[in-house]
Amino acid sequence: MHGTPRPLRAIQQIQIGTVTSTHNQARDTLARLVAAGFEGIELNGFMTRPTPFFVRALTKVVGMPVGSGGRLDWPRLVADSGLSVVALHEDLGSIESDMAAVVARTANLDTNTVVVTGMYRFDYGDPSAVMQLAQRLNAAGRTLADEGIRLLYHNHTAEFRRLGSACTALDTIADQTEPDVVGFELDCFWAATAGADPLRLLDSLGERVQLLHITDRGSRVNGPTMTPIIKVDSVELGTGNLAVDAIIARAASLGVDAVVLETHKNWIDGSPLRSAEVSAEVLRRMLP
């Protein structure tokens, strides 16, 4: 998808999980996203097929309610909506254990990008484990590349754990993976939450960043605010303190395929769709 005039305006499926529980609800939700100006969607493997209850419960506990849409026909729903599937999120274990199934799912969804969204119960403070992870990503990336599929790695906060004084886990992953087969989906919200500068990360990773995740960071606290603590959370684009315009402009200059919105909780008016529509105003302005 590189070479497009500008990045697609996209949204992460996690934001709409609670409003896509039935086919009719999902169709209405996707139509409303298209009307707001979204052109793409990023899907999650565990949200596009039936998954164990504990997986859904775990995501809800960490503040990412996924809804009950795993039994729906997502290839048909997305195709009918006119949205492009910019990527499919899968865990590395599934990619390694059943590569053929992952390849088939990407073909069924008409996408050529698979994203590994970090590792569960993994010690990012262990240098040898991080080195091994980089080699696993290389191996998976090479195999997927043979199938015409790109592999990207998506960060959270754990990757900014320092390994000694020299570098972070993300530095090691970037240094030890092969640029031709492993790229990145930079999540600006998690990077900023960890104290990193998204703009500097875009500069250092350069064109290896092929997708950008963006959520603004701010607070909805009303009334007097006393020092020293104020709750900071995800908020709609343009209503927080991230340099959203500069980040999107820098990512666009690098040729990213899509800027992917993910406001997974703390929605304005309690509505994930209303939240998406507010953020879409910024995306339309920055990516006309």
Q: Are 193 and 182 in contact (CB under 8 A)?
A: no
Contact 36, 276 (CB under 8 A): yes
pLDDT value at residue 28: 98
CA distance 258 to 115: 13
What letter would DSSP give residue 62?
T
pLDDT in tens, 118-145: 898 899 999 999 999 999 999 999 999 9
Per the structure block, which two tokens stand in for 117? 């969204």
**CB proximity list for 220: less than 8 A, separation 6 or greater:** 233, 235, 266
Tokens of 101: 């199934």
> Which residue carries 């990412």 as its tokens?
64
Report the pLDDT value the prediction gives residue 222, as an integer from 0 to 100: 84
Cβ of 47: how many Cβ atoms within 10 Å?
24
Which pLDDT score, from 0 to 100, does residue 191 have? 98
Which phi and psi (to 5°) does residue 22 adopt?
A: -130, 165
At 59 the pLDDT is 62
Q: What is the pLDDT of residue 2?
A: 44
pLDDT of residue 3: 47
CA dihedral 158, 164, 167, 170 (to 10 degrees): -20
CA distances from 48 to 9, 58, 62, 106, 180 (A): 21, 17, 20, 12, 28
Pairing verdict, β 216-218 and 233-235: antiparallel
CATH superfamily of 8-286: Divalent-metal-dependent TIM barrel enzymes (3.20.20.150)
Say which residues have a Cβ less than 8 Å from residue 144's Cβ, sequence separation at least 6: 95, 99, 102, 103, 114, 150, 151, 181
What b/e readout covers 111-126, taking b as 16+ CB neighbours within 10 angstroms? bbbbbbbbbeeeebee
Task: Note the pLDDT of residue 53.
Answer: 60
The Cα 231–Cα 218 span in angstroms is: 8
Domain ranges of the chain: 8-286
How much of the chain, in percent, has pLDDT values that exceed 90?
83
Q: What is the pLDDT of residue 141?
A: 98
> Which pLDDT score is estimated for 63?
59
Two tokens, residue 160: 């900014």
Q: Using one digit for the tens of pLDDT, what is the confidence trace for 191-232?
A: 999 999 999 999 999 999 999 999 999 998 888 888 887 888
Number of helices followed by number of strands (H, E) in the chain: 11, 12
Query: How are beta strands 209-214 and 258-261 bridged, if at all?
Result: parallel
The 3-class SS string of 207-241 reads HHEEEEEECEEECCCCCCCCCCCCCCEEECCCCCC
Altogether, the residues listed in the chain come to a count of: 288
Q: Which residues of the chain register pLDDT less than 70?
A: 1-4, 51-68
